[in-house]
Structure 1
Amino acid sequence: MSGVSFLKKYLKLVSLFFLAVIFLTGCTNVKQKAATVDKWDEIEKKKKVTIGLDDSFVPMGFREKNGQLVGFDIDLARAVFNKYGIDVDFQTIDWSMKETELRNGTIDLIWNGYTINDERKKTVAFSQPYLKNQQVLVTKTSSKIDEPKQMKGKTLGIQSGSSGYEAFESQPKILKDYIKTNIQYDTFNNAFLDLNAGRIQGLLIDSVYADYYIAHQKNPKMYRVISTGFQSEDFAVGMRKGDVTLQKKIDMALSELARNGKLNQISKKWFGTSQNIPMKNLEKNK
């Protein structure tokens, strides 16, 4: 190959490389810009908002045997947007990729037992809290495990990308330092299957899920729900930081639903109580 031919090929490759860099940089800038845009006018015009969820998270948002999507968050989201004449499109997503889906514009909201924490606040804007939750350890009664320390040398199940996993990692003295290993699951349903089969000896899980799941089993007494010591959590709606109007609209609707009793009604339907709803905080926000 002559020196001239080599130089031409080299310059062509360099040009292609820089074009690729410019294209990727442009795409990144578009996504970053999209995350700062207030999209309420667009949502109101389309009369549709897209919510991302894990459709196996009972009782927040899950599919019944007939495929129908139901749950506390399903009812609440529809009640909120019914106030504005906007339809809700629920989209099943990989829960570990929820913030990426939100940032890319695939979804407008994360609304499925989504916990507020400092790490998420860096990239996500939150509505006011509408539900209290805590992380609990579920074991089989037959295992004789009744406190986190007794998980020493055993295998723990946990959902990947969940607030429980984040707490587990950030506060290792509560549970992580005791266990032998952990197995991450996409859904709690699969984790319960492994717990029942003895492949894991404990499951770190949201109390709202644990209570509902166990109450609907043929023999609820076969499970033990153990307090862990992790701080209680607040569930809220997650959105892009640019969606200031959407945030205000959701907050206003949540407060109205608290004042008119609709939120209390939805809570009693799914939990049999309204004790986990921060009613006073919601009612005073207008």
Structure 2
Amino acid sequence: MKKKYLLGAIAVVVIGLLAACGQTDHSTANGEEKKTIVMGTSADFPPFETRDNNGEIIGFDIELAKQVTKELGYELEIKDMNFDGLIGALQADTVDFVASGMSATEKRKQSVDFSAEYHRSGEMFVTLKDSKIKSMEDLNGAKVGVQLGTIQEEGAKKLAESTKIDIKTLNKVPELIQELKSKRIDAVYLDRTVAEGYVSELGLAAFKDESSGTPGMAMAFPKDSEIVDKFSKVIEEMKKNGELEKLEKKWLEKE
């Protein structure tokens, strides 16, 4: 994982990009028509999507989306918003698709269509280094932070049925990490890849949720979208030709 982007994710104030809705025609240098396609993301989830020190949105999902849309002949435009508003943006036709570390759950499939999966991770609980919480068994009575609208929020609610935990939801992952460092919460429940990055960069601790059976990440589209199959075809081809593996090595592997 590219650790240098994590501190920037905490420090940079996330702002929405002003972008036109839908797909707009643009003329290329050779006179051909090129359509702009609008992608929604929540740029607070390194290494999948975050902002660098210049405010540019970067990450694994971003580079993957750029490659897929380029292959399909689109000009990519990105809208940054809160994660829990992404599906609503698809339903309102504010964006054409979403790439934001989103797991293709059965519940979400009732509202949107998904492309082929492109990454599978799992979950971890992140704690302070000196925390007494070392495993799932130690979570009883703990205050656990989760990002609003995520599969981790769903998982925490399910865990609360059998373990006494107090769930705190916030819009942004860096906000949760700050709450943890300030000792206002005891643990943060995160995607494993994201969690490992924060542990490595900030000297935190973590343990796996062995009970998690999270579905893989995929790009989301409005129901009955005409382009979802085209995106899936390119993603599957990238799996076969090694391009997806190259992106994983660049963004997701530890340094």
Superposition TM-score, scaled by structure 1 size: 0.74
Aligned to 2:223: 241
User: 1:227, CA displacement in angstroms?
Assistant: 2.6
Alignment partners' CA distance in 2, 1:110 and 1:124: 10
Alignment partners' CA distance in 1, 2:193 and 2:149: 17
How does 1:62-141 map onto structure 2 within 5 Å?
62-141=50-129
Aligned to 2:182: 197
CA RMSD of aligned residues (A): 2.2
Aligned to 1:225: 207
Unaligned residue ranges in structure 1 (runs of 5+): 1-38, 274-286
More helix, by proportion: 1
Q: Once the two structures are aligned, what percentage of the paired residues are identical?
A: 24
Q: Contact 1:124/1:241 (CA < 8 Å) preserved in 2? A: yes
Q: Contact 2:23/2:38 (CA < 8 Å) preserved in 1? A: no
User: 1:267, CA displacement in angstroms?
Assistant: 0.5
How does 1:1-286 map onto structure 2 within 5 Å?
47-173=35-161, 177-179=163-165, 181-217=166-202, 220=203, 222-243=204-225, 245-272=226-253
Alignment partners' CA distance in 2, 1:93 and 1:111: 12
User: 1:42, CA displacement in angstroms?
Assistant: 8.1
Unaligned residue ranges in structure 2 (runs of 5+): 1-21, 27-31
SS in structure 1 at match of 2:216: strand
1:233-270, CA deviations, whole angstroms, 9 ceiling, x for partnerless residues? Answer: 31001101221x31111011112212222111111001
User: 1:85, CA displacement in angstroms?
Assistant: 2.0
User: 1:178, CA displacement in angstroms?
Assistant: 2.2
User: 1:226, CA displacement in angstroms?
Assistant: 3.2
Answer with 1 or 2: which has the greater Rg.
1
In structure 2, relative to structure 1, the CA distance for the partners of 1:133 and 1:111 (3 Å cut) is same
Q: Contact 1:146/1:226 (CA < 8 Å) preserved in 2? A: no
Alignment partners' CA distance in 2, 1:54 and 1:257: 24
Alignment partners' CA distance in 2, 1:171 and 1:144: 19
User: 1:137, CA displacement in angstroms?
Assistant: 0.9
Q: Contact 2:127/2:206 (CA < 8 Å) preserved in 1? A: yes
Aligned to 1:30: none
Q: Structure 1: which amino acid aligns with 2:228? A: Q
